[in-house]
Amino acid sequence: MRKIHIAGIGVLVVALTLIFTASKDFASYASFEDATNSTSEVKIVGQLAKDKEIYYNPEEDPNYFSFYATDEDGITRKVVLNMAKPQDFEMSEQIVVTGKMEGENFLASDILLKCPSKYKEEEVYLRAENQS
């Protein structure tokens, strides 16, 4: 075999390895009902249920945070995250949690917050001014 063929096979092996490892991070979007019937990790898009308890006590356990989220189907479940509480969590407009159902609770391995833009009020003001 030529050196170019060996190098090409090497590049191909590295590319396939990268694709395989990256594919482990992909999870499908679902609801809490779908997550109950699934054995793999899923991503759930929802909102914080502000009328329910948010628990975080860093003196007791800094890596335990729980809250209730309502998915896009209107189902509310307790979400347990074994990490510290994210900054400005209560201000989030939308939450995306990745994880699995464990009994009645959703055990999250990752969380992504969509917070309101700091420019939102300014945009509304500028639009109102331009319409006059």
CB 64, CB 80: distance < 8 Å? yes
- Number of independent structural domains in the chain: 1
Q: Is residue 112 part of a domain?
A: yes
Bridge pairing between strands 65-71 and 42-48: antiparallel
Q: Does the predicted model carry a pTM greater than 0.75?
A: no
Cα distance between residue 107 and residue 101, in whole Å = 6
Is residue 113 pLDDT above 70, yes or no?
Answer: yes
- State pLDDT tens for residues 74-109: 999 999 999 999 888 888 888 999 999 998 999 999
Q: Is residue 41 part of a domain?
A: yes
Q: Is residue 18 part of a domain?
A: no
Quickly state the pLDDT bin for 117 (edges 50, 70, 90).
low
Q: Is residue 69 part of a domain?
A: yes
Which range marks the domain in which residue 71 is found?
Answer: 27-131
Q: Which residue has the higher pLDDT, 129 or 94?
A: 94
